[in-house]
Amino acid sequence: MIEEILKQAVAEHASDIFLIPGMAYGFKLGGTIVHKGEEKIFQEEMNRLITELYHTAGERSMERVTSCGDDDFSFAVPGVARFRANVFRQRNSLAAVIRVVNFELPDPKELHLPQTIINIAKMTKGLVLVTGPAGSGKSTTLACVIDEINKTRNAHVITLEDPIEYLHRHKKSVVTQREIGTDTESYVSGLRASLRQAPDVILLGEMRDFETIKTAMTAAETGHLVISTLHTVGAANTIDRIIDSFPPDQQQQIRIQISMVMQAVISQQLIPTTDGKEIPAFEIMFLNNAIRNMIREAKIHQIDSVISTAQEEGMITMDASLIQLYKNGRISRENAVIYSSNSELMGKKLNRI
């Protein structure tokens, strides 16, 4: 039964599978959850389905979900796809949300990724952040950048992920992929160990806490390219979020550190299109002298104005990206307003078009 659901999801190009007790299983198609079949799945059958899922994932032990209440893991079904599963307890029964990850690495052109983002692969040191809400395609963007490095550079790339989504074969580079909880205890311990593994590029799946952020900054300072993600929207918000994670007495020091090591912040959102699919909108910020000075002098609120006037440097604000998609007929006026940082201001901008 579970394998049939997984195969059906891949055939229908679903991004996620929902197995929640009390309803029919569902697929996320073009950003909308669609329920499949008439029959609701109740607790007993759901528990059987989840047990089958663990069996499909290489006889994985259910001990973690039993003791902690949730479990994150990835697995592959040969000839079908890779999947990233989160199994959890809710209302005293098991449930799962499964992300579909294709075996093939994504094509940046099909994903509408600007060349300026792919060019990050040419950077050799510093910190690059890809930010956005959960499910906005950050992992896919990172996979495209790592693949470009792999194709064009002779480097040692170390990835620390929870869990591993895309598998990278060795091309021009050596790519070492480590999964948190399986290959290393935590992001911090894996990151510290990676500094002794002759890395050129370190991909950090997520900067979850103060300790990870601090270690990532140190790694970027020592001459490595560190690429990671944060759940923030907008470049200025991302800088604020990093600074705020440090104690007040260290914040001025961290401003100086960020202004020295940060290279770029890519912020992305997935927007529903007029034809029922999804398309990414990006805010792209590369740190020039003006932005570095603003970070040092705690004038982060002024960064947006620099991004909006630096298009020749490859920068773009989220609002400008949304307006572009609206002008090209890809997204509706309503969604351009909903996904903007300031809906009132966006409304006025659209009125002028």
- Do 53 and 85 touch, CB atoms closer than 8 A? yes
Cα 350 to its chain centre, rounded Å, is 29
Cα angle 295, 299, 305 (rounded to 5 degrees) comes to 100
Q: 126-183: per-residue pLDDT in tens?
A: 999 999 998 899 999 999 999 999 999 999 999 999 888 888 999 999 999 998 888 9
Cα 66 to its chain centre, rounded Å, is 28
From-to residues of CATH 3.40.50.300 in the chain:
115-316
Segments of the chain with pLDDT less than 70? none
In this prediction, residue 229 carries a pLDDT of: 96
Q: Which CATH number fits domain 115-316: 3.40.50.300, 1.20.1260.10, 3.20.20.140, 3.10.310.30?
A: 3.40.50.300
3-state secondary structure of 5: helix
Handedness of CA 76, 80, 83, 88 (dihedral sign): negative
Q: Which CATH number fits domain 2-101: 3.30.450.90, 3.50.40.10, 3.30.70.360, 3.10.20.30?
A: 3.30.450.90
In this prediction, residue 22 carries a pLDDT of: 94
In this prediction, residue 115 carries a pLDDT of: 96
3-state secondary structure of 122: helix
Share of the chain above pLDDT 90, in %: 85
> CA-CA distances (angstroms) from residue 133 to 15, 141, 143, 286, 301?
16, 13, 17, 20, 21
- Do 111 and 74 touch, CB atoms closer than 8 A? no
In this prediction, residue 131 carries a pLDDT of: 97
- Please state the φ and ψ torsions of residue 328, each to the nearest 5 degrees: -80, 0
DSSP conformational letter for 89: E
Q: 234-258: per-residue pLDDT in tens?
A: 999 999 999 999 999 999 999 999 9
First-to-final CA distance of the chain: 52
The total of other beta-carbon atoms located within 10 Å of residue 316's CB is 19
- Do 127 and 213 touch, CB atoms closer than 8 A? no
| Closest alpha carbon to 175 in 196, 208, 148 | 148
- Using omega within 30 degrees of 0 as the cis cutoff, is the peptide bond preceding 272 cis? no
From-to residues of CATH 3.30.450.90 in the chain:
2-101
pTM of the model: 0.85
DSSP conformational letter for 223: T
